[in-house]
Amino acid sequence: MNASLVPVHMVDTVWPHVVAGFQRASTRSGGDLTVSDLWIGCRAGHCFLFVVQNEANDIIAATAWKPEAWGKGQRFRCLGLYGKGVREWADTLRNHVSQVAKLCGCNGLIADGRDGWKVIFPDAKRLRAVYEVAI
């Protein structure tokens, strides 16, 4: 498995290969960001697009991250993630994302969503919960 940061000038080339996966993840989780938000942020260089490729160079996972100022310092926040076989690539991706986060001056990673994040970040602590009420 290989995790890599997609250079900004390559986002438009890679995007057609990841957009459907991001859309499935967004639909499933009911996230507050659209796939268009992710694409625009990655194209503009405000967000970082990472992909995980198998030995055949097929993209099997992708994720978008953004540096943000939080009360306790800079954090690298996951805006979207999808992939299959997470246990096979979680360590590789986490290590690569962490390295880039440190280069951005971040001292923590933030992810919100379903409990599946515990596979990627087993030592994470819960900061908050999001609630929705139909009206």
| CATH number for the domain that contains residue 78 | 3.40.630.30
d(CA 118, CA 132): 22
Domain extent for 87:
2-120
**133 in a structural domain:** no
DSSP lists the bridge partners of residue 53 as: 2, 59
Over residues 68-107, the pLDDT tens digits come to 999 889 999 999 999 989 899 999 999 999 999 999 999 9
Residue 63, pLDDT > 90, answer: yes
Mean pLDDT value across residues 18-35: 86
Q: Tell me, what's the pLDDT at 29?
A: 75
> Burial of 44 by CB count in 10 Å (0-12 exposed, 13-18 middle, 19+ buried)?
exposed
**35 in a structural domain:** yes
**132 in a structural domain:** no
- What mean pLDDT, rounded, does the chain reach? 91
Q: Tell me, what's the pLDDT at 123?
A: 83
